[in-house]
Structure 1
């Protein structure tokens, strides 16, 4: 069962109605949080970019992005490689007519050398129809050699730093889904080079809390450094729902309740899913200690061995493994 199918079954009643033109009906403001030391205020739920390139009709993608913004979502996620660039192209069209000024726009690049990273960034800016990103992140830190390659002379970090200096990016960060140890290695490399990342993106969900946990290993370090924390994969790409260890609303509430998280990025591929997420965000109440303990106890068995967190244990989620040319040439 896909996430969309699950939501159609379980939240057919009680969702926030849509206004004419596709705008989500107002039902109170969407809560905001501060993105670490950046000081930027962002909505507690963010629109994932990957799913925005999947609608059969590109105009539906545009309408969906605008409905999300009209509904109060200010944090937009994207990546140079999502759907061959289609996700950025569609989001760029949605951000016309004044919508760009209403959002905190993030995208990611894969290049590990300076030239490849800079080229990908310029392509992203053209697709997104903007002269700058609010946040630029190095994507998929999932290999042991990534910290060394990124911080080497002529490496990607030179391109990121140059982008910030040129005004093409306000803030800089990195992402990854494979291992918390690789995130920690990236942070150590930054420290060794006198560089401070503004943000970090990592999987945070009810299964991660048990197995090779980003929440337990990386989150405390990031918070101590004052970084903005971007939680992703609150439903493990729908696999938690498939496992039946927890429901969609439980997954989102857990992810948004993790202390230190600035925004939870979630895939939104339809108006129904958008309305579900807006409703949960507007009425968000953090899990209490008893609720959290009960949910973790119930999901412990499913988490063993990472069976339902395949992005940690398999290669099917690793875009740069399947397309190594995205990384650029090795030195």
Structure 2
């Protein structure tokens, strides 16, 4: 988590301030625009959802075909700071009316608003469970007495079927290295869900260390299972976690993308050697997607093999926050 990310988000808020409509249009840059059937549906299909950072559609929730990710994109009139979708449910972290007020907006497969949840803080991450039942968010906050003026993080989640909500993971009981643990400086971010609609993974930081935690929603608990794992993303088979890790354990040196095998604990550094300050996304069982900044408020989505082989490739220019729909 960095101040650069927070300032970029605040800049995005200023750019997207104002009324938000609902509509559809198609944008093309290097390719001619072509109609795309059902382009703005969140139903499963060979498409990638993302947030556009292009000047003519900045902040807009957008979709592109997996077979031509650099080609024409279908663009919604919905502005978001971060997006995600799975199981026909979408999330859009966005401004809520007045400046510096935010919400997570829950979307159905047709991009209709189903629910709006106010958020305290600047939104930064979001995820949806594979069946669309659970949604999670992370926000930046300021003012925690222990943090000497630096930014902290809060993460929460909601069961959209029962409407049970955990406002902050800090309210859950914590087990660190096998022992009950309480501390004022607990921070959580980067939630990702397992297929059972109960288990989740996230990053927890305390006392200068960052941990991968496994959470149990029913038991209202989390436990640490690894160190130096940030912004986890669980594979569809539930066996691997893509993540970023601080180089030499020091975030000031940047982050390296890797994949963790949950059964063995083995870590595989990926071929992307640039610093990646993002929550990676599984685009398919063999491919990881992530954003690399190209300016203050602009990014590109890149892809890299999940087994450590190959090399990074530009996937979607002028885009960030990818989510594969199928």
> With structure 1 as the length reference, what TM-score do the two structures score?
0.32
Q: Which has the higher contact order (CA 8 A, sep 6+)?
A: 1
> With structure 2 as the length reference, what TM-score do the two structures score?
0.33
Higher helix share: 1
